[in-house]
Structure 1
Amino acid sequence: MSVTLSKIRALNAVAEAGSYAAAARQLRVSQPAVSRQVRDLETEYAVRLFDRKNGQLKPTPLCTELCDIAERMAEAERNAERLLSRNNTLVNGRLSIGLGNSMPGMALIAAFHKKHPGVEISVETGSFENIISAVITREVDVGVLPDVPGDGRFRRELLIRQSVVAIVHPDHPATEIGHLTCRSLMQAPLIFRTKGSSTQRVVDRAFRSSDLMPTPLLTLDTRDAVYEAVVNGMGIGFMWRNGTGRNDIVQRVPVQEMQRAYEEVAFALTSEKSLLLEAFFMAVKNFRNGKLANPITQV
C-alpha cells in the first residue's frame, strides 16, 4: 500500500465533514470505502488520524498537517485541470502560433483576438524551417507560412496567395523601370536571406531556372535586417509582397522569374483537434473571404 490521492482525498473529506457517512456523500462513494481508506493509512503507518468527540470525528494534529497537504494537492489538481482545459475553450484558452512573416499573420491574429478576446495568444517568429519544426514537435499549436508542403502531416487552410518581390531603395533606377529580371539583378549588389528562409528558397529557384549563380553582398538572418539594409542603400533585397505592414520609402518591384503566386496557409498537425484550432481555422476562412478586418491586398 502507499499514500494515494484517493486516500488523501478521503482523509480531507472526513476532516471537513466530521463523519465517514458525510464524507462519503461529499465524495459520492460508499461509506465503507471512505472508512477503509482512512484506516488503511492508520494501520500502515501506525498513527491515529481522528479522535471521536461528541459523536464527531476530530482530526488529530498529524491529520491537520496532512489536510494542509491535501489542500495543496487539490489546488494542484485544479490548476492541472485548468491548464488542460485552456487548450479547448474560447473563454480563457491559450493558443500558440508560429509566424514566418509578420504579415499577413499578425493581421490575422489581430482579427482573431478581436473576435475571441478571452484567448491568450503567444507568438513565435522564425524561419520557414524553424516554424515547420515547431508545429511538428508541438512547440506551437498552429503555424502560418507560405509554400507549406501539401502532405498528409498537415491540415492546411489558405490565407492568401502572394509572390516574392525585390525591395529597392527609391533612388535605385529599378523603381523607374517598374520590373526586374534575374539577369538584370546580377549587375546589382544583392542582399539574401540565410538558408531555411521561404523567401530565399523562391529566390534561389528563380536564379537556378535562369542558369545564374549570384554572389550576394550580404546574407542576413531576418527579413527586418534585409529591409533595413535596403533602406540604407546597401543593395536589393527580397521579401514576400505582403510580408510586412511597413509602408515607408522601400519600393516593391516585381521580378519576372518570381511572379508565381504561392499559397500562404495556416497549418497544424492533422492529428491535432480542439475547439481553439477550429476557431482559428474559421478565422482564416473569414479573413480570406473578407468577413474579418483584412488590410492585405491579395496578389
Structure 2
Amino acid sequence: MALTSSRVRAVNAVYESGNFSAAARTLGVSQPSVAQLVRDLEAAFGVSLFDRHGQSLVATQLCRQLYAATSRIQSIEADAVAILQQREELAGGELRVGLGNAMPGMALISSFKSLYPKIQVRIEIGNWSDIVAAVVDRRVDVAVLPEVPQDRRFRSEVCLSQRVVAICHPGHPINRGGPVSIAELTKYPLVFRTRNSSTQRVVDKTFRSAGLQPEPAIVVNTREGMLEAVANQLGVGFIWEHGSSRADRIARIVVTEMDVELPEYIFSLLGTKGRLVELFFQARNLLPP
C-alpha cells in the first residue's frame, strides 16, 4: 500500500479546491490524472475520501483527518525548498504580480524594488475577475485587489483602506469643492465600468440602496478608458480613491453614500511559498499612511 507524495498532493488539492478540474489547474496536470491518483489511493487502502454529488466532491471525515496531517508535511517541504532557493531568488529571481488597480499596487512594487533592485517584477493588470483568475491559475505569484473572495484557498492581508469616489473634469459643474449625494450624480451623464469591475460593484450597490437605477451614457472595460472618458468631458465616472496617481484633467469628489473606506488586500494562493512572495507581503509595511 503506497502513500506516495503525488497521491497525497492530489487528494489535498481536491480537498482545497472542491473538485478535480480546479485541483488539476493547481497542480498543472490533467483532470483525469488527478482523479486517477485519488482513486488509486482510495483503492490501495480500501477507504472513501470524498462523497460524490454530481460535479461536487465533499470530503469525508477520514479525508479531513488525512489533510490535517499531510498538509503540515507539505508546508515543511515547501519551506525547505524556499530556504534552498532564497539565495538565488534574491540575487536575481522573478516575481509575478497581478494588479486590479494601478495604485496602491505600483507603490508596493516601488517599495519592494527599492529593497531588492535585482529582482525582476512582471506585472499583469486587469479587472477584478481577471486578477482573481490569474492567482488561481498561478499566472501570478501574488496580487493586490479590493474585495478578495472569502475562500479558504487564499491567504490575504490588508495593505490599506480606501473608498470609491466620483471623478469629473475640473470644469464640470458638480466640482464645487465638497461632497455630493448619489442622487445629484444622476442629473449628469455617467460613465460606468463593466460588471466584473470591483469599482462598479460598489457603485451599483450604492445606487440600489438609494432606490436608483441610472442608465450610463458610456460603459468602458478598463480604468484607463474611464479616466480618458472623464478627462474628455464625456461624463462623471467612478474610481477607487488611490486607484490612480493621475491628476491632469481629473477631479475627485467624495460621494456621501460612498464615504466608507474598504480594505485593499495583498493575496496569494494559500501555501504559495518562496522568499519573494513573503517579502512582497512585508513591503506593505513601507507604504506611507
**TM-score normalized by the length of structure 2:** 0.68
In the alignment, structure 2 segments of 5+ residues that lack a partner are: 1-83
Mapped to 2, the partners of 1:141 and 1:284 lie a distance apart of 16
CA contact (8 A) 2:136 2:269 kept: yes
Matches within 5 A, 1:99-178: 99-176=99-176, 178=178
Cα 1:209/1:276, change in 2 over 3 Å: same
Aligned to 1:266: 266
1:181-224 C-alpha deviation (Å, 9 max, x unpaired): 22111111000001111100100010011111110000001111
CA contact (8 A) 1:86 1:94 kept: no
CA RMSD for the aligned pairs?
1.9
1:95-131 C-alpha deviation (Å, 9 max, x unpaired): 1000011111111101101101121110000000000
Identity fraction in percent = 45
Mapped to 1, the partners of 2:87 and 2:241 lie a distance apart of 33
Amino acid at match of 1:282: Q
Size of the alignment, in residue pairs?
A: 207
Mapped to 1, the partners of 2:132 and 2:111 lie a distance apart of 23
Mapped to 1, the partners of 2:170 and 2:277 lie a distance apart of 42
Mapped to 2, the partners of 1:177 and 1:112 lie a distance apart of 36
Note if 1:205 corresponds to 2:170: no
Cα 1:121/1:87, change in 2 over 3 Å: farther
C-alpha displacement of 1:86: 8.1
**TM-score normalized by the length of structure 1:** 0.66
Amino acid at match of 2:150: G
SS at match of 2:239: strand
C-alpha displacement of 1:261: 0.8
CA contact (8 A) 1:86 1:93 kept: no
In the alignment, structure 1 segments of 5+ residues that lack a partner are: 1-83, 288-293
1:228-253 C-alpha deviation (Å, 9 max, x unpaired): 11111111000000111112231100
Matches within 5 A, 1:183-262: 183-262=183-262
CA contact (8 A) 2:168 2:252 kept: yes
Structure 1 runs of 4+ aligned residues shifted over 2 Å read 84-88
CA contact (8 A) 2:86 2:274 kept: no
1:13-50 C-alpha deviation (Å, 9 max, x unpaired): xxxxxxxxxxxxxxxxxxxxxxxxxxxxxxxxxxxxxx
CA contact (8 A) 1:87 1:94 kept: no
